[in-house]
């Protein structure tokens, strides 16, 4: 039971990071109808910006994280204004290909600017706390707590603030939103800024606790992407649930890998989120919380 609880907490911590990344996907998809495959690259950039402000410029850790979040938000706005704004009205597939190109470009810039592996001087290190017989790394508690506060904040923002209501209105019907005086361009720019800021925070938390930084850090988006498909592309709540489910499934499978058949391989835990995804989509093609599309003939 102790091992199960430790793996459960670790899975929720990983899932909280997946939920943050998935939420970034959902924010842009709801506002623009585009899946942003550059989210993983923005996460990578945010982690390395945190390293720069923390270890090279020697700012306090949370100040470095805040500066990295702001920096990535500005990069997100720049991408929307300089590149993607010119693609309004173009086929969605073309815009998606541009986000893939942005991923490659950002990753190349990061590997050129920060070659090799780096260690982030975070305040968590390898510290642990004990609850009964369950030993939990401090960084996991911070990951869960930070993600919970941020996700609750975004829920209140989208539900009750003027800007949040404007973003939901634009996502629902752009023409009706424009008729009410809402600037779709501002909403698009803000959605990219929010998604990039979320990615930066997720990157900083992921690199903490002894994980370190290397170019493979952005691959986490490949697991967060099935999370949004599982929860539903247009559902922030689904992004949270999907991220937690994927994190717990992956961690539990890795923790009990010695009890699995040998023919499944040593890295079967990397595959299990996709197995769960396929199984659920066979029953609910629009995800757990996705909006079902109805076509009238």
> Residue 187 contacts by C-beta under 8 Å, 6 or more apart in sequence?
31, 166, 167, 170, 177
pLDDT for 129 equals: 84
Length of the chain: 297
Three-class secondary structure of residue 213 per DSSP: strand
Q: Is the separation of the CB atoms in 142 and 124 below 8 Å?
A: yes
CA-CA distances (angstroms) from residue 149 to 22, 142, 145, 154? 16, 10, 6, 9
47-82 tens-digit pLDDT: 999 999 998 888 999 999 999 999 999 999 999 888
11-56 tens-digit pLDDT: 888 888 888 888 888 888 877 777 888 888 999 999 999 999 998 8
Report CA 232 to chain centroid distance, whole Å: 14
pLDDT for 247 equals: 87
Determine what percent of the chain is predicted with pLDDT higher than 90. 16
Q: What is the DSSP string of 166-186?
A: HHHHHHH-HHHHHHTT--HHH
Give the count of beta carbons closer than 10 Å to the beta carbon of residue 173. Answer: 11
113-159 tens-digit pLDDT: 888 788 888 888 777 888 777 788 888 888 888 888 888 887 888 77
Judge whether residue 293 has pLDDT over 70. Answer: no
Structure tokens at 85: 């704004």
> Residue 252 contacts by C-beta under 8 Å, 6 or more apart in sequence?
7, 8, 11
pLDDT for 197 equals: 93
Q: Is the separation of the CB atoms in 203 and 54 below 8 Å?
A: no
Determine what percent of the chain is predicted with pLDDT higher than 70. 93
Judge whether residue 89 has pLDDT over 70. Answer: no
pLDDT for 292 equals: 62
CA-based radius of gyration for the chain: 19
Q: Is the separation of the CB atoms in 273 and 246 below 8 Å?
A: yes
Judge whether residue 88 has pLDDT over 80. Answer: no
226-240 tens-digit pLDDT: 777 777 776 777 788
Structure tokens at 73: 């938000």
Which one, of 24, 116, 16, 126, lies nearest residue 72 by Cα?
24
CA-CA distances (angstroms) from residue 42 to 3, 49, 100, 102, 227? 34, 10, 12, 9, 18
The Cα 113–Cα 261 span in angstroms is: 43
The Cα 172–Cα 190 span in angstroms is: 16
pLDDT for 10 equals: 87
The Cα 246–Cα 248 span in angstroms is: 6
> Residue 175 contacts by C-beta under 8 Å, 6 or more apart in sequence?
none
Q: What is the DSSP letter of 52?
A: I
β-pair type (128-131, 134-137): antiparallel
């Amino acid at each position: 039971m102790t091992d199960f609880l430790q793996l459960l907490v670790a899975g929720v911590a990983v899932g909280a990071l997946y939920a943050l990344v998935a939420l970034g996907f959902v924010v842009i998809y709801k506002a623009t109808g585009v899946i942003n495959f550059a989210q993983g690259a923005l996460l990578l950039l945010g982690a390395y910006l945190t390293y720069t402000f923390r270890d090279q410029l020697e700012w306090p850790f949370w100040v470095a994280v805040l500066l990295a979040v702001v920096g990535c938000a500005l990069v997100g706005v720049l991408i929307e204004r300089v590149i993607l704004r010119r693609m309004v009205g173009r086929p969605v597939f073309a815009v998606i290909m541009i986000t893939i190109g942005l991923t490659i470009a950002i990753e190349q810039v990061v590997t050129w600017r920060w070659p090799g592996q780096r260690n982030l001087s975070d305040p968590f290190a390898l510290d642990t706390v004990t609850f009964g017989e369950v030993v939990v790394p401090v960084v996991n508690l911070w990951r869960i707590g930070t993600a919970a506060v941020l996700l609750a904040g975004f829920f209140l923002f989208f539900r009750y603030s003027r800007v949040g209501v404007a973003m939901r209105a634009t996502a629902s019907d752009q023409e009706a939103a424009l008729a009410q005086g809402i600037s779709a361009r501002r909403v698009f720019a803000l959605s990219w800024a929010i998604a990039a800021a979320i990615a930066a925070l997720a990157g900083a938390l992921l690199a903490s606790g002894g994980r370190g930084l290397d170019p493979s850090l952005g691959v986490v988006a490949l697991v967060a992407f099935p999370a949004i498909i599982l929860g539903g592309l247009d559902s922030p709540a689904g992004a949270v649930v999907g991220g937690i489910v994927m994190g717990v499934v992956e961690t539990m499978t890795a923790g009990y890998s010695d009890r699995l058949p040998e023919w499944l391989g040593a890295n079967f835990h990397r595959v299990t989120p996709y197995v769960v995804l396929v199984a659920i989509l066979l029953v609910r093609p629009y995800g757990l919380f996705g909006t079902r599309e109805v076509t009238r003939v």
